Amino acid sequence: MTGPHGSRRRRLRRAVLVTCVVLAVLLAVLPHPAITRPWVMPALQSLVPVLCAVAGVIALLVLVFRQWWAAGVLAAGAVLGLLPTLVPLGALGVGFGAGVERGAEAGVEAGELTVLSLNAEYGGVDPAALAAALGDGGIDVLVLVEADEDLVTALQEQGALDGLPYRTETIPDEPQGGTAGGAVILSAHPLRSEGVLPRFATHRHFEQPVAVVEHPELGAVRVVGIHPVPPIGDDFVPSWDATLRGLDGWQAAHADPPLILAGDFNASHAHPQFRALADGFTPAAAAAGPFPGPTWPVGSWLPPFTAIDHVLLKGLVPLDYERLDFPGTDHRGILTTVVGERVTGGG
């Protein structure tokens, strides 16, 4: 009497196990292929933390029904998929100030620099809120992407840029890539503009300014405002991929530290192209540990689920890391204070 019922149960258990194995393999593999065909691949990779969280919930439900192997396999796949999306473990010791302590023990004096990086969402960020943050933060360098001259003028009128008198070139009325393509770097210290990064992509691209800031303690610090196009659609994804790969080659050819890459990368650690670029840098997010939190989207029905806004450091160490919310933009700003070796004769 129990034969057919037991047979159906065994088939169901096998089906659940096979399904969990397939899902686990897909999750474990998803963060690794650096491919852009189909174009939805980067979008799926950005969802890896969400997919892994959902898989964890499913594993718990499977566990309730005592399917130990299925639950274990799915949980393992979720963990393997999530690991690449975290701030690299090798950066954590530096991020918590260990590098500063080692420098102090060796008798090396440190200089500090504070950076605020923000995607202003078509220049729509509330200038009063941004001005308040600039007034409170003692900012040395401000990197704004998706900015325009109207925003800069509004900040000037509020006196928010009195402490940031140096800047890169005027943002064009029609920047490369449309209204999202404008970007500017502002500094409290003398700044030498180096123009914009080369056009790595054959399709649409945004302007990415480069400047050398003459810091009184650190000496020359090169700062780049990063903003690849978002990886959505057949045209944008190849440009996004080409820009991240081009950035990797560019930074390797400009390896003299210190170097700061700051902005909206439209990519997270779940994307292998970003991990390749970030290799050799210390993320400012390391100061917040392996789970620094998402930066996008903010202020919509969809809760923030991915960290695509970054400050990457070479020759510098992050002391702290803070995500700031501003009305009028769907990105969180990144505020970080970094330290480096004080140059001989620095102030």
pLDDT digits (tens, 9 = 90+) for 53-77: 999 999 999 998 888 999 999 999 9
37 and 121 co-located in one domain: no
Give the distance between the most distant pair of CA atoms in the chain.
Answer: 91
* 3-state secondary structure at position 59: helix
Same domain as 182, residue 69: no
The whole-number average pLDDT for the span 222-242 is: 94
Our count of domains for the chain comes to 2
Supply the CATH number for residue 217's domain. Answer: 3.60.10.10
The contacts of residue 60 (CB under 8 Å, 6+ apart) are 71
Domain-embedded: residue 120: yes
User: 108 with 58, same domain?
Assistant: no
| 10 band by pLDDT with thresholds 50, 70 and 90 | confident
Based on the domain organization, do 202 and 289 belong to the same domain?
yes
Which region among 185-189, 221-225, 273-277, 343-347 has the lowest average model confidence (pLDDT)?
343-347
Among 67, 85, 103, residue at a domain's last position: 85
Instruction: Kindly report, residue by residue over 297-307, the tens digit of the pLDDT.
Output: 998 888 999 99
Q: What is the per-residue pLDDT across 94-128, written as a single tens digit (0 to 9) for each?
A: 544 555 554 445 445 679 999 999 999 999 999 99
Share of the chain above pLDDT 90, in %: 76
pLDDT of residue 257: 76
Strand order in the sheet with 191-196: 191-196, 209-215, 219-226, 259-264, 309-314, 282-283
Q: Are residues 243 and 336 in the same domain?
A: yes
Single residue among 18, 53, 85 that ends a domain in this structure: 85
| Alpha-carbon span 127 to 109, nearest angstrom | 36
Same domain, 114 and 39: no
Q: How far apart are CA 62 and CA 57, in angstroms?
A: 9
Examine the domain organization and report whether 162 and 244 are in the same domain. Answer: yes
Domain finish residue from 38, 54, 85:
85
DSSP 282-329: EEGGGGG-S-----B--SSSSPP-B--EEEEEES-EE---EEE--TT-
Answer for the pair 181, 122: CB distance below 8 angstroms, yes or no.
no
Q: What is the mean pLDDT of residues 205-223?
A: 96
Distance in angstroms (rounded) separating the CA atoms of residues 193 and 214: 11
* pLDDT at position 137: 65
Query: Do the domain assignments include residue 347?
Result: no
Higher pLDDT, 341 or 257: 341
- From residue 208, alpha-carbon distances to 89, 217, 225, 297, 303 in Å are 29, 26, 5, 22, 28
Domain with 47, as residue range(s), is 3-85
Q: How far apart are CA 308 and CA 297, in angstroms?
A: 10
Task: Spell out the alpha helix ranges (H) of the chain.
Answer: 3-29, 40-46, 48-64, 68-82, 92-95, 98-105, 127-137, 149-157, 236-253, 272-278
